[in-house]
Amino acid sequence: MSNLVCCQIIPPDVLYQIIKEGTSEQKDKFIRTLELSEILRTQRSIIAGMRGVGNILKIAGHLQKRRIVYDANHADDIFSLPGEPKRYEEDLKETGDNDVDSCFNNTGLVYDFYKEVFMRNSIDDDGMEMNSSVHFGVDFDNAVWTGSQMVYGDGSDLLFKKGSVASNLTVTAHELTHGVTDHEANLVYRGQPGALNEHMSDVFAAMCDQWVSKHTVDESSWLIGKDMLIEGQALRSLKDPGTAYPTDKQIDHIRDYHTGMLIHYSSGIPNRAFYLTCKEIGINSYSWQKVGKIWYATLIDKLREYSKFQDAADSTFDVAGSLYGKDSKEQAAVYKGWEGVGITPRESSDMTANLVGGKRRRRHQIL
């Protein structure tokens, strides 16, 4: 069963803070942003409730990527979605609408990243059509995975710069990875499992961005949502959690974690562990080549709905040993990465358990 949540790019307390402290104009706009996010959350819940039926009636997916980008024309209810179709897979010519064209191109890059690096065919690994709606609402400061499609606002120039939401590759990769997680570990969107859900979206978004730019571990900014905010460099930093914007409360060590912490903040712990692991492999290495494969195998075959930080540490450590050898450089790197955030990986009695098969047998291998 699904989590009955709507995964979104922005920590909700950022909106609450603006509503509490902002001007009258800001309060009105961000109250509406929260309302629209809740509307999309309702749609996510409806889709989740129908998932069992959908699996029974499922139509075979596509063998190649299939994208459609719609214009929501600033409508702000679930019945308006997806909107007016503006660009299909066969359309080589750009429309002239930057949000439509950027969204179309970035969605294709995310598909290509998963296909070429992990041999995954779309969000569900079965050729799912990748649908997106841009221009949702008026000055909507969010991007959301609804369970069936992506929805992007325009930004308000109060929190996000106008035109920055649908055009940012890491935002698209982050949200689409929520769809991947839905179809794999299905981590519940609360507590430590919810933080791991956000973490997976952040690390695969960072890897996708690095893969497209061919940046090494040292060359990458490790930022999610770079240059989107009116104030601040990004939404999150995997390298230095808590430094992305002036009021960023993300943490980078388990000693600072407490029950009930917002998942966008506690996800900084595994985010930092991933960065440190990549750094241990080598600053001139590429994150997606080894560490990314360890994290991907962990997501698809090890983690479950209620997995916690310790489970992720143990699983990535085991997977590293299974893929690259016990006591290998790669396994040592994973150990040091988690140790750097205060979590000590524990070796399971059977390192190969669930790696090939597990939750469901993979149709391919990732090496």
**Of residues 189, 308, 190, 312, the one with CA closest to residue 260:** 190
Helix (H, G, I), strand (E, B) or coil at 35: helix
Q: What is the largest distance, in Å, between two alpha-carbon atoms of the chain?
A: 59
**Tokens 């450590």 map to which residue?**
317
List the catalytic residues: 175, 264
**Per-position DSSP letters for 142-188, written without gaps between them:** -EEE-SS-EEE----SSSBPTT-STT-HHHHHHHHHHHHHHHTT---
Strands (E), the chain: 7-8, 67-71, 84-88, 130-134, 143-145, 150-152, 223-224, 236-237
Tally Cβ neighbours within 10 Å of residue 43: 20
- Per DSSP, what are the bridge partners of residue 152? 143
